[in-house]
Amino acid sequence: MSKIKLLILFLISLNIISCTNYQRDNNIKLSIGYISGSYEGLLLSNQLKSYLNNLNMLDNDSIYEVRANISHSGSVFITNIDNTSDRERINSSINISIFDKKMDCLVYNFNDTTSQFYVLAASDKFLSNKVASESIKIENTEYFVKKFITHLNVAEFSCELAPYELRLKRLKNYIDEK
């Protein structure tokens, strides 16, 4: 009986090890372009650079350029009937586009929204409100970056997002340059 248990544990551990050693075989190289959103945009830019660099996908000379914008907004809402539990909801939205600099066209677009909330402290003097809000914004930004990177595994880059005539003109210009 113990041999069967050991064999099952061995097979489970083998499965876990094989999942953690997964290497991404993707030749996509991306450069980071303009990212709007002031401080939140800077956080997004840093996280994108970090994750893409770790996956060996960051190349400043790449023909594919990532452009993005991120925004966060907050609203207060009351969750119970006796109005004693005020919460602030942080809504976050992102738009990440990948442009082909050679063909001058949009090749990939990623949009997403998410929200989280925290219990609002009774006074503006409490530092916990500000810390909670900033923490949620950072978590949402990291969530977006991880989801974007995951979607890149199955993404196909093509200029099909541009109108046909515009693509034809750009292709002709590209051929003429060669």
pLDDT digits (tens, 9 = 90+) for 5-34: 767 777 777 667 765 544 445 578 888 888
**Does the pLDDT value for residue 83 go beyond 80?**
no
* Angle at 32 (CA atoms; ends 27, 36), nearest 5 degrees: 145
Domain boundaries, given as residue ranges, for the chain: 20-177
- At the second CATH level, the architecture of 20-177 is 2-Layer Sandwich (3.30)
* Rounded Cα–Cα distance for residues 167 and 178 (Å): 17
* Rounded Cα–Cα distance for residues 127 and 170 (Å): 54
Global model pTM greater than 0.85: no
